[in-house]
Each structure stands twice: as structure tokens, then as C-alpha cells.
Structure 1
Amino acid sequence: MRILHLTPGTGNFHCGSCLRDHALIKALRVRGHDALMAPLYLPLVTDREFGAQELPVQIGGISLFLQQKFTWFHKLPKFVHTWINKPDRLRLASRRMGMTSPRVLGEMALGALLGTEGRQWGEWHKLLDWIRNHGKFDVVSLSNSLLTGLAPAIEKELGLPVVCSLQGEDSFLDTLPEPYRTQCWEAMQRNARSIRRFIAPSQFYASHMRERLNAAEGQIKVMPNGIDTTAFTTSSPDPNWPTIGYFARMIHGKGLTTLVDAYIDLAKRGSVPRVKLRIGGAKTPIDEKYVAELQRKIKAAGLEKRVEWLPNVSFKDKVHFFHDLTVFSVPATYGEAFGLYVIEAVSSGVPVVQPDHGAFPELIAATEGGMLCKPDDAKALADALEALLNDGELREKFSRNGINKVRQEFSATRMAERFEAILQEAAAPEQALH
């Protein structure tokens, strides 16, 4: 099949959605599909070089912002748009994302979701022209539901089936101020009528979004995310320095505050001598104040020499990060749609402790690579980490089970097989919702 996958770039930091999309497209190509990934908004940031088939940003975030403000912007000469959307300029703009007000974020999100009725359509329509002139595709895949404003036009003007992945968009939309929050959800429900299949990474998120989108029976399919399991080495931590790991964006929502508090509690107990904490993952300029506050808390507890911060590391360094861990936890405060970091840790043979909500119970049951604890409770997390760190046999069991299960069910190859089946079903003429 000839597949076009549209995915937003972040410009300057790794995100789980980008890494999942990268692994998916690579695995689809291995399976013989002509799969193209077209970045939107900002350049992609992936674990490794993507290869010769990577495409430039098709619709730049700066252009969309200006189009939202000035409806005539798309009529300016092409050289103006080329200059504005140079990769380095887009990356520079991405560093200022955190300065965008909630109202502007709401305007931009709604503008994209309104599709042909929105102020941004003058720019978005160029993407349809590009798709039309880039050869015949069998299906268009949207990386997340914030792009569904494109679906009605792709279906009507290009006659192509559209599938859409669901990757935790609700956590963004529900933070928007009114009236944008309600209007965005209403627009997404309208757009859903033009989506042949939604693809959720967990049963939890499929059930959650089925109601939020008012989806038709059978419209949402479940496809767990996958990774290149061959890229991760088996952990071999120093037994003299038991180490707890965290690898996700350095924000409160991912539970970093809970983990730091649990670590301080655990260290003060003295039941796990010399226990260390390694914190890695994306850190953007808007996260620096939050991280500094946590660092002050750790210093006040006299533990700063036992806590290591590794922001924005390369793929090679990330593999090494997991290699040195004894246990792992990202105790997110909200119901995660999936949690790719859990699969990366388990694939590395690192036992995990996760909160008992969202997709985590499914992941723990499927991988047999860890345990659950009470959500948003630093003491409960400290208790679970303490128990696991002091039970070598249990850690070995979780490690052995987890590696085997991830290789069987959460590889990029397995993800591509499932995705291929969904695409074939969605592309069948009788599957049209109209």
C-alpha cells in the first residue's frame, strides 16, 4: 500500500508520539509498503536519523499562526512562506511555545479542527494540493485527532480513506479555556464522521475516546504501540548503587513531583542504602522553573549528589540510561493513553512501578514486567519501590517475563502488522461511513 502519514513535529524535543510514528513508518517500509511520513508545524525530532525518505515540513507552524491572524496571509508570494518556514527558524520558534497564552492555543487548536470553515484553511488547503500532486495514495493516516480538521476535505476532495491515531489528545484539549474546549470537542465529533478508523493504543483509551468522540460502533480499533526492541540492551545495574529511573518529559503531569517525594522518603528510611535517582527525558525552556524547584527540594534533603539529571539525551545515551537502572517509574498524575517509556524500560529488563490507572494496568498485565501502586501517593510509591529494590528474585522474574513479552507483543514489527490489517479494513469501499 502507498501510505501517507501526517505527524506534527516538536522542533526541539523528543515525544512519545513522534518516536512511535517513526518506528511505525520504518516497520511498514520493511514490510514492503511505500510509507511516507510528512511533518507538520515543526521539524521532527526522532531517536535516530530517519533516512533519505524523510520529507520537509509541509505546513509550517509560523505560517498557520499568521494565517489565523490574517486570512490573506496564504496569498503572499511563495518566497515569503519559504523564508518563514526554514527549519532553523521553525526550531527557534518552537522554543517559545511555552509563552503562548491559553487563549491563543485555543484559537489555534479550534482553527485547525474547523477545517474548511476555519481561518487557517488558506494554508491547510496547500497540503491538499501537495497530496494531490504527490502521486496516488491508498490511505492517509493522521498521527492524532487534533489533525482531523483535514479529514472531511481529504475524503471529499481527494476521495481517500482516512485513519487517525489517538495519542492522549484529551489531556491537551481539557486544559483549554472556554469556549475553546467545548468548541474543539464539538468540531472533533463532526470530523469523526470522516474517519474510517480511529486507532487507540489501549483498551482504556479506546473506551474513553469512544464516548468523547461519539464514535460509531467498531470505528475505534486497539493497536498497542511498539518499539524497535533490538535497539535496547539488557540492563546491568551496579548492585552497590541501586538506581531508580524516570524517563519522560520533566513536568508535574508525568508524576515527577510524586517520584521525587517518594525518593526522598525512601532515602530517609535507610532500608535501601545508597539508593540513587536518575531523571532523564525532554526538558523545554518552560520546564526549567519547575525542575529548579525540585532540585532545591532535593538539595534541602541533602540528596543532590545522589540525583542525576539528564535532559534531552541522544538515542545512544537513552539506551545507556536504561542499562544502568535497577527499577523504573513514571507515576503520571493522569490517565495515560499508553506510556511508551514503560515498554522501553521493560524491553531493557528493568522492572517498573506504575500507578494503578489509565493504560498502566493493561501494560503491566500484558508485559508481566512490574507492579502497580496507588496513584498520586508518594508514600505508596516509596513502599512499592522499597519492596522491589529489596527483592532480587522478584526483580529477576519481572525482568525475564518483561523482555520476552515485549519482544512478542510490543515490537515495531508487531505494531506494523496490526496497523496494516486496520488499513486494509479501512480502505475497503464498503467501510465508508457515509
Structure 2
Amino acid sequence: MRVGIVCPYSFDVPGGVQFHVRDLAEHFIGQGHEVSVLAPADSETALPEYVVSAGRATAVRYNGSVARLNFGPVSAAKVNRWLDHGEFDVLHLHEPVTPSISVLALMAADGPIVATFHTSMLRSRTMQTAYPIVRPSLEKISGRIAVSEDARRTVTTHVGGDAVVIPNGVYVDRFEHARRRAQWTGTPTRPTIAFLGRMGEPRKGLPVLAAALPAVLDAVPGLRVLVAGPGDPAEVTEGMPDRVVAAMEFLGAVSDEDKAVLLASADVYVAPNTGGESFGIILIEAMSAGACVLASDLSAFWRVLDGGTAGALFRNEDPEDLAASLLTLLAEPDRRRRLATAGQARARQFDWSVVADRIMAVYETVIEGRMAARQGARTGWTRLLRGGDR
């Protein structure tokens, strides 16, 4: 099968949608399918051979974050050339109502089209502004996928219609086989917790974690907080108490391999995100690595952690509850092990071997539907020429 996938967000900066597109493409290529991905990227960015650059992206504030997108006539020309060259059996668009090359591809394309909605926003000015522009083209979409119930609710609220829920995927084995690294592994008196994310984005929750740390350090003065992700430590720690800053070890952006090792090494992975999350891919990665997860009780995280059976939850944006929950986990290694074991078992449901098969089933359904529609049209035209049934 020839599959075209459009990623609206730039491959210059790592992100959940980019990782989803990358891993899905590589899984299908491994199965023998021909896959081409169109995504924004700077000219100097090293891209996999299956990725075609749609040109440099511009930073735009979107969904509480900064998204790197491109749009306009130059981008439209590149989209059209890619579509003409690809002759795809199915076109898979990600975030088709975000003003981006996904919208341009939706407007230009014809044939079987599948769209995946990642965003969880019940109120969105950007989406409300873009919707009238893309509304006529949305009827072309034959198969709609939402990565979570929260993303599905966004579809039904803002876009109309419905979508089948198929979660993000993870290569579980890659994380499950990660080995601990001594420098990141805690001890009873110096346990380690890990935070991964763009530290400068408030919605990733580092300020909430920092506000919880004084109470935790009172009880566990040797605690080490391993912070991985892009951002300027001097900026994000400004105004924090000295002992909180001293407890933090900033690792910068880490490779996929080091991310898996970090998650496997920490006593607890903390996800203090405050909102804007439709799924929680990092939770699945942490669970796959055998980490004990402690996350804010966002509805998306609650579902991933199966209501708290595959990881612990605390009240969103409540530093006191975060501190109390973290101290309980640090004091109870048996509970940490039970949660980690349950999390690792649950993570198997999100392995790409499961998720990709469900996405391929959607592809096959829309292709078959398109063929049936064409056959029906030909039959109707033949009957008209013959004067109808006799």
C-alpha cells in the first residue's frame, strides 16, 4: 500500500505528534508498505529518507504551547507537488483543522482520506477561526481517528461527526529493555525522581513540582530531581528557593535511548502537567520502562493510568497533594513496585503492534468504501444509459 502521511508540526523540534508520525511510518515501512511523510523542516535538518520537507516553519502560539507550522501559497505548491508525485492509496492527515500543511493537503487532495485528531481543547479560538475555512473540505475525510476520548470530544464539539478512538503507540520493548544507569539510580537516602518535558512551558507543570519540593525535601533532604528537556535552567529556576534549585539536576534534551534509561532508573516519574493533554505518551513510555508513575489527575492521564491502578494520581495544580503523594510513594517501595508492574502490563495495550493494526484497518475500510462508491456510481450511470432496469 502507498501511504502518504502529513505532519503539521516541524520535525526540527521533538513533540508527541512528530514522534507518533515517525513511529507509525517506520512500523508500516517495516511491514513492506511504501510510506512518504510530508512535514515542515529547516533545510539543514537531517531527515529520515521517507520524510519530505514542506519548508521552514514559523512559531505560533497554539493550545498553551508554541507550535512550529507553515502555511501559505509556497507551502501549498509543495503540498500539491508531493500529492501529485505520491499517487497514494490513502492519505493520512494529522490535526486537519490546525492551520498548516494538513489543511492545505485536505483542500487539495482527492481519494481515500483518514484524519487523526490529537488535540484536546473544549474552547479554541484558533479552531473556531479555522473551521469555516476547512469546513467544506472536512466532508472529504472518510475515516476519523482520535487519540483519546478527550480528543474525540474535541471532534464532536468543534468539528462535528464522530471519530474512532485509537491511542498513540509506543515501542514498548525499546523501553522495557532499558537498563538502569548508576548515576541516575536512587538509594534509600538519596532517591531520584524524573521530570521530562519542555521546562519553559507552564502547562508541563515544572512550577507545580517546584512548589511541592520544599515539603518533600523537609522529609527527604537527599532527594534528587532529574529534569530532562529543552529550556534554560536559569530562567525556569528564577525565584525558586535555593534548596529546591540545588536538588535539581538539569540534563538538557536527551536521546530516545537516554530517555528510556532515565525512566528505568528513577524511583518515581512525575508528570505534573496542568492541562492541554489529550493522551500522555510519556506516561506510556515511563510505564513501559518499568517506572512508577505519579501524574496529575487530568482526564487523559486518569484514563492512561486506568483510574490509578497502573500509576498514582494527585489533584491537578495542587502542590500539597503532589508532595503528600510523592512522599507516600518514596516511603513505600512495595507499592512502587506493584504500580510499576501494573503499569508495564497495561503499556502492552499501547504497543505499536496493536495500534498500527487498528490504524491499518481504518485505511482498508476507507479504501474499500471509496471503491464501492465508485462501483456504485458506475453501475448507476450504466443503468441510466440503458434506460433503467427492465
Structures share fold, TM-score greater than 0.5:
yes
1:167 maps to which residue? Answer: 118
- Pick from 209, 230, 239: which aligns with 1:297? 239
CA distance in 2, matches of 1:190, 1:212: 14
Deviation at 1:392, TM superposition (A): 1.0
Does residue 244 of structure 1 match 2:186? no
Q: Map Cα deviations across residues 337-375 of structure 1 (whole Å, 9 max, x no partner).
A: 111111111111111111222311110008943022111
Q: Map Cα deviations across residues 211-253 of structure 1 (whole Å, 9 max, x no partner).
A: 1111x2xx41111111112222155732232111111121101
Deviation at 1:293, TM superposition (A): 4.2
CA distance in 2, matches of 1:423, 1:399: 35
CA distance in 1, matches of 2:159, 2:168: 21
Other structure's SS at 1:310 match: strand
Deviation at 1:256, TM superposition (A): 1.2
Map 1:8-157 onto structure 2 (within 5 A): 8-10=8-10, 12-42=12-42, 51=48, 53-57=49-53, 59-61=54-56, 97=59, 112=71, 120-121=72-73, 123-134=75-86, 136-145=87-96, 146=98, 147-155=102-110
* Cα 1:138–1:224 shift into 2, 3 Å: same
Deviation at 1:39, TM superposition (A): 2.2
CA distance in 2, matches of 1:382, 1:194: 49
Q: List alignment gaps of at least 5 residues for structure 1.
A: 63-93, 113-119
1:77 maps to which residue? Answer: none
Deviation at 1:19, TM superposition (A): 1.2
* Cα 1:187–1:372 shift into 2, 3 Å: farther
Deviation at 1:198, TM superposition (A): 2.2
Contact 1:227 1:344 in 2 (8 A): yes
- Pick from 263, 266, 273: which aligns with 2:213? 263
Contact 1:328 1:352 in 2 (8 A): yes
Residue identity matched to 1:231: R
TM normalised by structure 1 equals 0.74
Does residue 224 of structure 1 match 2:175? no
- Pick from 222, 225, 238: which aligns with 1:277? 225
Q: Map Cα deviations across residues 258-314 of structure 1 (whole Å, 9 max, x no partner).
A: 11111233113x1x341111111233xxxx3xx43432334x342333211122222
Other structure's SS at 1:128 match: helix
* Cα 1:334–1:101 shift into 2, 3 Å: closer
Q: Map Cα deviations across residues 134-180 of structure 1 (whole Å, 9 max, x no partner).
A: 3x31111112222234213202xxxx221111122749x93x6xxx6
Deviation at 1:181, TM superposition (A): 5.8
* Cα 1:42–1:423 shift into 2, 3 Å: farther
Q: Map Cα deviations across residues 35-82 of structure 1 (whole Å, 9 max, x no partner).
A: 22222354798xxx975x33331x2136xxxxxxxxxxxxxxxxxxxx
> Which structure carries more relative contact order (alpha carbon 8 Å, separation 6+)?
1
Does residue 387 of structure 1 match 2:328? yes
Q: List alignment gaps of at least 5 residues for structure 2.
A: 378-390
What RMSD, in angstroms, separates the aligned Cα atoms of the two structures? 3.1
Determine what percentage of the aligned residue pairs are the same residue.
22
Tell me the matched-pair count. 359
* Cα 1:101–1:328 shift into 2, 3 Å: closer
